[in-house]
Structure 1
Amino acid sequence: MNKNWNRVFEIINKPERIIIGLMSGTSLDGLDIALCAVNGNGIDTRLEVLKFETFDYSNEFKMQVKSIFAKRDADLQMVCLMNEQVALQHAELILEALSAWGIKKEEVDVIASHGQTIYHAPKSFHGLPGYPNGTLQIGDGDHIAVKTGILTISDFRQKHIAAGGEGAPLALYGDYLLFSKAGEDRIMLNIGGIANFTYLPGDQDSAKVCSTDVGPGNTLMDQYVQRHFEGLYYDENAAIARTGQSNPALLEALLEHEFLSLGFPKTTGPELFSLSYLEGAMTKSETKSLARQDVLATLCCFSAEVIIRAINQFLHTDQNIKVYMSGGGMHNPLLVSQLKAGLPLLQFHTTESLGINPDAKESVLFALLANETLVGSAINFGDSSGAPAVYMGKISLPG
């Protein structure tokens, strides 16, 4: 038998697997690397984060990715080259992390790589008759496997689409496995570039679980800062936005897109909520001369309002719900204060109180998905959740 498959079977039969989860989001700030010890599978999964760190990207690498990110007219040669470049960069950072942590690569069983999303095109966005949902993550798994010498599982979102989903959000799978708790209704709110949440019922009925994108989290704020504030990639601690005032006319125009009133589940991305979207809203509301700090304050209010309306739309009643936050947006004090003011009956926490570093949550998710691909059973979330019961990820052998 091929020695690589012997290794796969060894990993499958181990009582505990050491899995590296990788996540690189739309903010392009760096690569999240979570080294996880994973036992069991399904709702009996037990996971411990052994090490976690975000490794910063160089400005040059950020610009390379941004040259093809969320652009319909991206240079096809650069897309081709960056598929390899992203993988090689991620592999280098993995090896750097292992060296810094004093861990031999032979001690790691699997790498679970999300890759780098460069375009997300569900039917609700592209609107082209006869075409399916689509999404594209670059960062080839074979390159990671060969350069690191570690079995790699990657490209998770394609199976989701092939089975009838939209390729996002995938948080539902990991949230249910790791955070579902009998007797406590929970909302796992992730505020990344796009904000999404997963509802976990206290009766742990998988058919009642729902996960959905709701609209922009940080993406518009980050894009605006990168365009108008040289040297900055985001508004740290809302330092700029807190000096401004939200503009009611611009906020109203931003809130008018039909996506925001669609039912759940649904997905979106920075392809829709872009600077062009903002410019259209500013033209419509006659606010093109608005001070930059006021624009940022309004964008922050927009993200908060989108999340508040979505949660209210989903819950319908004043349920006793605990909200557990993760993602970069939870570090924005202005955004969090607006969420708490808009949802006063809900209790807000971070996933730190559940034993998972909230900054590591998304990279942990892909470690969980890889574990399920190897040893799990497909989970049935019912017909209405937009979450097909499938195993996700392509396996790349290191040799």
Structure 2
Amino acid sequence: MALNRNLQQLFNIAQKDNRVGVGLMSGTSLDGLDIALCRFTGHSMQTQFELLNFVTIPYNDKFKSEIRQVFAKRQADLELLTLLNARIGRYHAELILQAFDEWKINPAEVDYIASHGQTIYHAPARQHNRTGYPDATLQIGDGDHIAVKTGIITISDFRQKHIAGGGEGAPLALYGDVLLGSKAGEGRLLLNIGGIANATWLPASQNLSEVFSTDIGPGNTLIDAACKKHFDQPYDKDGAIALSGIVDETLLNALLQHAFFEQGLPKTTGPEVFNLAFVEQVISTLKAHEIKPADLIATLTAYTAESIAQFVSKYVSTYVNIYVSGGGASNPAVINYLKKRLPESKISNTNVLGINPDAKEAILFALLGNEALGGEPIAIGNNPAVLMGKFSFPY
């Protein structure tokens, strides 16, 4: 019996020695859509990749406002949430086609799109504490809308399989870090400072049973939220506000008492936990404690960096090569703090590994799409050995 058109197309792509794929990432900062056009040869530990093009297309204020109405909220407008599932998928498809037009790329040249979607709520069991309910996470921006509008097979909703396989749905950076970032003879910590900070430890032995990946704590999420509230800025460009302020050590020490930091590894978190309401609650416990806006930004920046430094000291080593990606890699206030706290470590960004630090997460999802098409499940540490992603066809 002949395969139908969709399955035949999928079969043909899966049989290719190399594939061109698009990875999409829209993070908790809501700054825009990261679009990475990549070429992959091979799969699993033999994967080789080339970043062909990359762009971040900023979201307009109206779009960001709509997402914020449902993002990381225990109670939200169900109708708006439903509408956004389709709207985000269509909008992302429009941005992809816009990027293709600028790059002079014919969509027919692209084998697949791998979309992270937009995280709306992340709820690992350690966080929701509802008896009988498992770990859960929700990313919206339906893949069918992307596939139909672009005419390209789309793979999406990657985190659900990770949870179904026994994980917490994050951090998925683990798989890309292992396949693209390992090097025999060099122990490496790949640190991503996005909305949340996460890291993957890659031992010099390349023994996959020794690899671990985990969220560390807040990355940019608290800094961005405070900048928006007090300075009407989406983020602290070049760490300028933090560098103009003074760290409030009393508040910093109080923030570091959060129970999350004492939980075992691996673990995940999000803005559902680390948000301004939490910070304001901590400030309220410090009786009659006042803090200037610039000092608050300085303190939250130190909070991000100090929690990372404590993690490295406790779980890895103070003598380690650290490669940084994400928005935090471009924040001198964060990086300088880390260099002072971890003077024995060598800290650089992932450019030295041939991985654009701004594009790293979008590359990751393009890689996960490549694995879904032609890879095999890999056992890494105590993480689920699964292939992730759901397929949406254009016809």
Query: What TM-score results when the alignment is normalised by the length of structure 1?
Result: 0.97
d(CA) in 1 for partners of 2:35, 2:242: 30
Out of 368, 378, 388, the residue aligned to residue 392 of structure 1 is 388
Structure 1: gaps (5+ residues): none
State the match for 1:250 in structure 2. Answer: 251
1:358 alignment partner AA: P
**3-state SS of paired residue (2:368):** helix
1:329 alignment partner AA: G
1:278 alignment partner AA: V
d(CA) in 2 for partners of 1:185, 1:285: 41
2:372 alignment partner AA: T
State the match for 1:304 in structure 2. Answer: 305
**What is the Cα-based RMSD across aligned positions, in Å?**
1.0
Deviations 1:230-263 (A, max 9, x none): 2x11111111111111111111111111111112
d(CA) in 1 for partners of 2:346, 2:250: 31
2:292 alignment partner AA: A
Out of 221, 225, 228, the residue aligned to residue 226 of structure 1 is 228
1:334 alignment partner AA: A
State the match for 1:141 in structure 2. Answer: 143
1:389 alignment partner AA: A
Across the two proteins, how many residue pairs are aligned to each other? 393
**3-state SS of paired residue (2:114):** strand
**3-state SS of paired residue (2:50):** strand
1:359 alignment partner AA: D
**3-state SS of paired residue (1:239):** helix
1:72 alignment partner AA: R
Aligned in 2, Cα 1:287/1:334: closer, same or farther, shift over 3 Å? farther
State the match for 2:360 in structure 1. Answer: 361
1:338 alignment partner AA: Y
d(CA) in 2 for partners of 1:102, 1:287: 59
2:349 alignment partner AA: T
Shift, 1:311, TM fit: 1.0
Q: Does 1:374 align with 2:376?
A: no
Matches within 5 A, 1:336-347: 336-347=335-346
Deviations 1:186-230 (A, max 9, x none): 000000000000000111111111000010010001111112222
1:276 alignment partner AA: A
Structure 2: gaps (5+ residues): none
State the match for 1:127 in structure 2. Answer: 129
Deviations 1:84-136 (A, max 9, x none): 11111100000000010001000000000000001101111111111111100
d(CA) in 2 for partners of 1:97, 1:127: 42
2:254 alignment partner AA: A
Deviations 1:356-396 (A, max 9, x none): 111000000001111111111111113xx3x2000100000
Q: Does 1:12 align with 2:17?
A: no
**3-state SS of paired residue (2:348):** strand
d(CA) in 2 for partners of 1:25, 1:286: 35
**3-state SS of paired residue (2:227):** helix
- Asked if structure 1 preserves the Cα contact closer than 8 Å seen for 2:318 and 2:342, the reply is no
**3-state SS of paired residue (1:234):** coil
**3-state SS of paired residue (1:5):** helix
d(CA) in 1 for partners of 2:273, 2:367: 29
Q: Does 1:259 align with 2:260?
A: yes
**3-state SS of paired residue (2:376):** coil
Query: What TM-score results when the alignment is normalised by the length of structure 2?
Result: 0.98
d(CA) in 1 for partners of 2:193, 2:331: 10
Shift, 1:318, TM fit: 4.7
State the match for 2:330 in structure 1. Answer: 331
- Asked if structure 2 preserves the Cα contact closer than 8 Å seen for 1:253 and 1:284, the reply is no
Aligned in 2, Cα 1:287/1:374: closer, same or farther, shift over 3 Å? farther
d(CA) in 1 for partners of 2:287, 2:215: 29
Matches within 5 A, 1:195-210: 195-210=197-212
d(CA) in 1 for partners of 2:269, 2:221: 11
State the match for 1:194 in structure 2. Answer: 196
2:384 alignment partner AA: P
**3-state SS of paired residue (2:171):** coil
State the match for 2:155 in structure 1. Answer: 153
Q: Does 1:268 align with 2:269?
A: yes
State the match for 1:102 in structure 2. Answer: 104
State the match for 1:66 in structure 2. Answer: 68
**3-state SS of paired residue (2:357):** coil
d(CA) in 2 for partners of 1:84, 1:247: 44
Aligned in 2, Cα 1:81/1:180: closer, same or farther, shift over 3 Å? same
State the match for 2:28 in structure 1. Answer: 26
- Asked if structure 2 preserves the Cα contact closer than 8 Å seen for 1:84 and 1:140, the reply is yes
State the match for 2:77 in structure 1. Answer: 75
Shift, 1:294, TM fit: 0.7
1:377 alignment partner AA: E
1:310 alignment partner AA: F
